[in-house]
Amino acid sequence: MNIVGAIVAGLAGTVIISMIMMMAPKMGMPKMAIWEILGSMFSPDGNVGLGWAIHFMTGAVFGIIYALLWSLGIGGANVLSGLLFGVVHWLAVGLMMAGMPMMHAGIRAGTVSAPGVYMLNRGGMMSFMGGLIGHAVFGIVVALVYGAFV
């Protein structure tokens, strides 16, 4: 496994999914600014800079997880595996959204609304599809960038 390649791939994927999230409202989709949700996790007032840092850190961590799985022979750094990993990633993360109120300072204080499972409370099926597409693209980008390192 190439750790530098994995981190670079995760960061590249995070840049692309962030661009998709920023463009979403301009395309008629709901706001999906995960950095705002993450930034208010520890303080009801929120800290967008912290949210961005957490967002990019988790992107790098997922890049490492993907690369580790590929190095263990589970799939490979290609478009199909990237797509599948991204979909599975979204299925897992989307379920975790339902548990956010238990550990989120902003939600507990009422300054941030709970996103709900798959962010359905923040745009219904459009949020579900946006998250699914974004994570699928993230997985593909991670696979293609990491593939250039190995």
Structure confidence by residue, pLDDT tens digits, 16-53: 999 999 999 998 889 888 999 899 898 888 899 999 99
The pLDDT of residue 44 is 85
* Distance set, CA 61 to CA 22, 50, 109 (Å): 22, 16, 29
The pLDDT of residue 32 is 86
The pLDDT of residue 79 is 98
The pLDDT of residue 29 is 87
Phi, psi of 43 (to 5 degrees): -150, 130
Exposed, middle or buried: residue 58 (CB in 10 Å: 0-12, 13-18, 19+)?
middle
Q: Whole-prediction pTM value? A: 0.93
Contact 141, 10 (CB under 8 A): no
pLDDT digits (tens, 9 = 90+) for 89-117: 999 999 998 888 888 898 888 888 888 99
Whether pLDDT at 5 is above 90: yes
